[in-house]
């Protein structure tokens, strides 16, 4: 962090990294993540003013500081964990993993698949041709009505407005052209193309608690003792389930550093919601010898312990049965379903998040 800090004798004094860092971290802790809003807080929020030591850095200084010191902040995170361990705030008995969707500074207007962005460029070019045609027609009117002074003044104002509009549209077209000339299709976890974003292509369009946003999914693993966050990751995707193996690795590495133990998660339990349930994730946890508790969204439909499952049998609604409802013919190697039909083996089906499992 110090290598980016220059306080030469010329010009205004540079902002201290210590002042910027503590102001930014406090703003993050209370939900202020925009550099412009942090700038405003340094001027109006009494607590932030005190942390900033009455300095008022502008949003550009704040944004540059954040982007240039990511590695230094990681080291600070490690120091914080070591201090929390020293104060016995980390129990290491149980952890919980979850994600939180955070908006970025990227606009949803600039999102879409490459084909969608190409269509947007075509539409803007059509709009530009229409505006240019209207602009030329206005120039003709101006020449034929020079004697009408009030009209001429109004016409001049309208002409300037249209010129500014033309300039804005041309900039948008150029921006899309530059992006499409270098961009490759962005693939999601399913292998299909997902929406790219011209402003921030690492971000993604995802559904948040207040509708769709363009941003990131911040994933954290917290210790159950005092809710100290042990491992974090930000991804440009709404689906966080695929990050479980990587988060378990980060959690184990950080706990090794904190405790000095070879197997710090040997007696620990990691909790996750149904979004993290998949056969691959369960296998990943088992291979690391980490105990996890993740509910299967479909378990009520398969567990015979739930009595309400029986109510489907006497109705015309789609039925859900347990293994005891099927008769197995060992010699022929097939099952007979409750409706009397033969069920032949076709393939194995892996556990998927919110999906099914077993054989078909």
Evaluated on CA atoms 117, 119, 122, 128, the torsion sign reads negative
- Per-residue pLDDT in tens (0 to 9) along the chain, 360 residues: 555 555 555 556 678 888 898 899 899 888 888 888 999 999 999 999 999 988 889 888 888 888 788 777 777 888 889 999 999 999 999 999 998 888 777 777 788 888 888 888 898 888 888 888 877 777 666 656 554 555 444 555 666 777 788 888 888 888 888 888 888 888 776 677 778 888 888 888 887 777 788 888 889 999 999 999 999 988 887 678 888 999 999 999 999 999 888 999 989 999 999 889 988 999 999 999 999 999 988 777 766 666 555 554 555 545 567 777 888 888 888 888 888 888 888 777 665 655 444 555
Tokens coding 169: 């549209």
Identify the pLDDT of residue 197.
82
Strand 94-103 versus strand 269-271 pairing type: parallel
Structure tokens at 255: 């706990």
Please identify which residue in the block is written with the tokens 């300095």. Answer: 55
- Model confidence, pTM: 0.65
What's the pLDDT score for residue 289?
92
> Looking at residue 320, what is its pLDDT?
65
**Rounded distance between C-alpha atoms, residue 245 and residue 208, angstroms:** 24
Residue 276: which of 103, 99, 94 has the closest Cα?
99
Q: CA 10, CA 275: separation in Å to the nearest integer?
A: 55
Left, alpha or beta for 54 (phi > 0: left; psi -120 to 50: alpha)? left
Q: Which of 274, 234, 273, 237 is nearest to 250 (CA)?
A: 234
Cβ atoms 249, 256 nearer than 8 A: no
pLDDT reported for residue 357: 47
CB contact at 8 A, 298 and 353: no
Q: How many beta carbons lie within 10 A of that of residue 290, not counting itself?
A: 19
Is the distance from CB of 215 to CB of 99 less than 8 angstroms? no
Rounded Cα–Cα distance for residues 4 and 261 (Å): 36
Q: Maximum Cα–Cα distance for the chain, whole Å? A: 103
Q: What angle do CA 287, 289, 292 make, to 5 degrees?
A: 100
Give the Cβ contact number of residue 327 at 10 Å: 12
Helix residue spans in the chain (DSSP H)? 17-29, 35-44, 46-51, 59-68, 70-86, 114-144, 149-182, 244-259, 279-287, 299-302
For 149, other C-beta atoms within 10 Å of its C-beta total: 9
């Amino acid at each position: 962090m110090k290598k980016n800090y220059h306080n030469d004798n010329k010009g205004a004094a540079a902002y201290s990294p210590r002042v910027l860092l503590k102001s930014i971290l406090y703003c993050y802790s209370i939900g202020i993540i925009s550099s412009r809003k942090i700038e405003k807080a340094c001027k109006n929020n009494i607590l932030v003013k005190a942390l900033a030591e009455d300095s008022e850095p502008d949003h550009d200084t704040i944004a540059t500081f954040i982007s240039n010191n990511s590695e230094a902040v990681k080291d600070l995170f490690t120091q914080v964990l070591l201090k929390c361990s020293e104060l016995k705030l980390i129990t290491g008995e149980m952890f919980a993993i979850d994600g939180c969707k955070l908006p970025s500074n990227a606009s949803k207007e600039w999102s879409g698949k490459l084909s969608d962005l190409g269509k947007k460029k075509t539409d803007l070019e059509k709009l530009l041709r229409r505006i240019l045609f209207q602009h030329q027609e206005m120039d003709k009117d101006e020449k034929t009505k020079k004697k009408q002074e009030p009209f001429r003044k109004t016409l001049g104002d309208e002409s300037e407005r249209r010129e500014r509009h033309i300039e804005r549209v041309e900039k948008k077209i150029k921006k899309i052209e530059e992006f499409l000339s270098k961009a490759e299709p962005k693939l999601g976890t399913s292998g299909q193309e997902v929406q790219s974003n011209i402003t921030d292509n690492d971000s993604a369009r995802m559904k948040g608690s207040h509708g769709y946003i363009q941003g990131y999914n911040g994933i954290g693993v917290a210790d159950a003792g005092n809710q100290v966050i042990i491992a974090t990751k930000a991804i440009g995707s709404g689906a966080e389930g695929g990050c479980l193996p990587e988060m378990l690795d980060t959690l184990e590495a950080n706990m090794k550093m904190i405790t000095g133990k070879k197997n710090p998660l040997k007696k620990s339990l990691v909790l996750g919601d149904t979004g993290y349930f998949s056969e691959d994730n369960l296998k990943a946890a088992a291979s690391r010898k980490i105990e996890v508790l993740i509910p299967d969204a479909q378990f009520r439909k398969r567990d015979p312990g739930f009595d309400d499952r029986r109510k489907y049998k006497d109705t015309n609604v789609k039925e859900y049965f347990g293994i005891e409802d099927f008769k197995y013919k060992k010699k022929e190697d097939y099952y007979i379903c409750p409706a009397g039909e033969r069920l032949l083996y076709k393939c194995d089906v892996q556990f998927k998040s919110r999906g099914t499992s077993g054989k078909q």
